[in-house]
Amino acid sequence: MSVIPRRRFLFLYSATGAGHHAAALAVRDALQQRYGSSAEITLCDGLQALHLWPLDRFPRWWPHMVRLGGVPWGAFYRLTNTLVLQQALARLLLPVTGAAVERLLDDNPTDVVVSFHPLFTHTFGRVLQRRAQPAPLVSVVLDLVSIHAAWCSPDCARIFVPTPPAVARALTWGIPPAHLECLGLPIHQRFAATARLDPAAIRAQLGLPAQGPVILVAGGGDASNPLPQVIRAVTERLPDACLVIIAGNNASLRQMWAEKTETVRVEGFVANMDLWMRSADVLLTKAGPNTIAEALVIGLPMVLYHAIPGQETGNVEWVVSHGAGFWAPDPEQAANAVATLLAAPEKRSAMSEAARALAQPFSASAIGDSLWQLVT
């Protein structure tokens, strides 16, 4: 009987939003389900593990960096979005970051380094190339369309991108086609199973009304931006609908709606987002890539009310152009779009089919298999 060789994986993520950690967990679980204890996976919050100021402060600063409508962040995103600049920055910062990266790699022996965050890709690529026995570097891109050059180091043995437009963007930077794999954005495999469940049974499980519309509201890990105004507009336009608000870290939002128990339910971070999505008729959300990818698998029609300039702009165009959602960047527009969908079951059904046509429900397993093949 053959024994599967043990392989070590170092997964790097950062707590800048919830999506990077969630994607790493999805691939970890897929690898362990397929290969069991033969897959030894270390999850590492790289910015904290490096112990370098100001990098270790970046997760705290992130919610503030994307405020003011995200306009300052969008300008920074565009200015830094060239492969030449990213390579130059990595060389410039190497005297500061190199020793810390070397220590992290020495403390976590691995057969492959997998980056789930763009801040690691070019720096780790540089350091790995100068080691005596460098482990291959892999980048798992978590932006759907408007990917940043920071994700795509020429030192990567593989770059997993989620959509054909993302492939096209990477090719313009001279990344060899053989280094690119278009496997979807990794979400947990439970979403595929939940998509087949009966929504009525899930509503009963979650304590939601059996009759009437359910609107799921998600604003990302920090649930900020114009979300409070959007929620007010929806409750005024649809006073009898049940709103479920996933507030994430936004304590003020949870407190603001704590008294509204009949038609508004507020949750913080949830570990069962698949069930909340399956119970809903419409998803009202910012254009975050993980939430979009999850909704596509569930087949949940979307109303997108906000997008971070630069990295999420392409998500909106992609979803809308394929008929899987509406773009409604004003609170009144968002409320009207939700009302339109709730009043038109045939439109919701068409959007649901369009969403499923874009979905890649087994992306995490496909990425896990490709990682395993890379080191065996």
What are 335-370's pLDDT values in tens digits?
Answer: 999 999 999 999 999 999 999 999 999 999 999 999
Query: Which segment of 145-154, 175-184, 258-267 scores lowest on mean pLDDT?
Result: 258-267
pLDDT surpasses 90 at 194: yes
Q: Are the C-beta atoms of 150 and 86 separated by less than 8 Å?
A: yes
Mean of pLDDT values over 147-163 = 96
Mean of pLDDT values over 252-269 = 76
Q: What is the chain's mean pLDDT, rounded?
A: 91
**Domain boundaries defined on the chain:** 7-188+361-374, 190-358
Quickly state the pLDDT bin for 1 (edges 50, 70, 90). very low
Mean of pLDDT values over 6-24 = 91
pLDDT surpasses 70 at 225: no
What are 109-146's pLDDT values in tens digits?
Answer: 999 999 999 999 999 999 999 998 899 999 999 999 99
Topology (CATH) of 190-358 = Rossmann fold (3.40.50)
Global pTM reads 0.93
Fold equal for 7-188+361-374 and 190-358: yes
Mean of pLDDT values over 220-234 = 76
For domain 7-188+361-374, give the CATH superfamily: Glycogen Phosphorylase B; (3.40.50.2000)
For residue 107, the model assigns a pLDDT of 96
